Structure 1
Amino acid sequence: MPTLELLRPDHTDALLAFELTNRAYFARTVPDRGDAYFAEFPARIAALLSEQAAGVCRFHVVLDADGALIGRVNLMDLVDGSAELGYRVAESAAGRGVAGAAVAQVCRLAAHGYGLGSLTAATTLDNPASRAVLTRTGFTVTGQFLLDGRPALSYRRSLADLRRAEAE
């Protein structure tokens, strides 16, 4: 099972390598971040860490059993007991249940550690793997829209069942 760690400054180099190694793979299903994203990566991570310190977001890296960075799972815009979920997994780890396990872990962490009551997410219709991860981890479709010009679905997951389980 993969391990989640809250993003720290010492993850910067491994996270950059992860993003660069998987850039073409990610671009098949999500818009490419562009060269400037990578050129300014240390500054971007510093900004993310500032947001995390302010309690606005929670950024996590996903590590395999050997400690290699194989993904990331983020909770953005923590407001009024809710946050938006985003995640990506390395091509080398795809199809092995890593995304589902990481999303399930962050859902538990959101409910128990961060005190959130719900999460939202979105994915394009042409990303069946992401749609399956969201469905398997308890998200339900709430609407359809265009995401960067592509048909997409919005999702929501109540965390009430996870919070109830803690109380029992």
Structure 2
Amino acid sequence: MPNVFFISDHHFGHGPIIDYESRPFDSIEHMTETMVDRWNAVVGKADRVFHLGDFSFLNKAGTAAIVARLHGYKTLILGNHDRGRSRTWWLEAGFDEVSEFPLVYGGFYMLSHEPMYLNKHMPYVNIHGHIHGQKYDSPQYVNVSVEHWDYTPVAFETIHGLFRQDEEG
């Protein structure tokens, strides 16, 4: 059975993000190669990856070249920096599926680019990106921005395990 992974906010081709988020890279090329290598180190060709937005600032050819190198069946949920381009643009760049709206995974996990409003009585967890190095102080939110996971897609089992620990503890 394929594994499922989540990740967001790669910002491929966006040089200023290195300084904005204090990323440990000395160039765009170094950032790109490291993030592609870390993706492929954990994601197999048959695995599924939900990218929760802000994938690339490159043109279609540059974006497609990166997408083609990444393992797995790739679903993109559009982020604020992705929305200037159509769903068709992203599909032509190599994503297998593209959603303009949040998705529900496993009946319990709400996948979105930006954190969604959840009150403490809602029985859901929001897996999101957008806020990069920041983090909400609530067990209902899991930030999968690359800065929180060493620039590596995080396995669903890891996220689900966070909630099993809460139930057992």
Q: Same fold (TM over 0.5)?
A: no
Give the structure-1-normalised TM-score: 0.33
Q: By percentage of residues, which structure has more strand? A: 1
TM-score of the pair, normalised by structure 2: 0.33
Q: Which has the higher contact order (CA 8 A, sep 6+)?
A: 2
